[in-house]
Amino acid sequence: MNIRKVGVVGCGLMGAGIAQVAAQAGYDTIAHELNEELQRHDHRQTLSSESIT
């Protein structure tokens, strides 16, 4: 199996950390927050390995 993309649902402490590590390892990474209140404040973000410095 060849993993090319990682999706993380929930961007709390653990989810954000998983997304960060996956992106830094070179995987195309998408993080999505399901909490409706956070969605209304547009706290969702897409991460890619190119966006991590």
pLDDT in tens, 6-21: 999 988 788 888 988 9
Confidence of residue 4 (pLDDT cuts 50, 70, 90): very high
Global pTM?
Answer: 0.65
* Residues in contact with 21: Cβ distance below 8 Å, sequence separation at least 6, in sequence order: none
Residue 13: per-residue pLDDT: 80
- Read off the pLDDT of residues 21-38 as tens digits, 9 standing for 90 and up: 999 999 999 988 888 776
User: For residue 43, which of 14, 12, 17, 7 has the smallest C-alpha distance?
Assistant: 12
Write the CA distances from 12 to 1, 3, 19, 36, 51, integer angstroms: 28, 23, 10, 14, 19
Dihedral over alpha carbons 20, 23, 29, 30 (to 10 degrees): 30
Domain boundaries defined on the chain = 5-51
Confidence of residue 48 (pLDDT cuts 50, 70, 90): very low
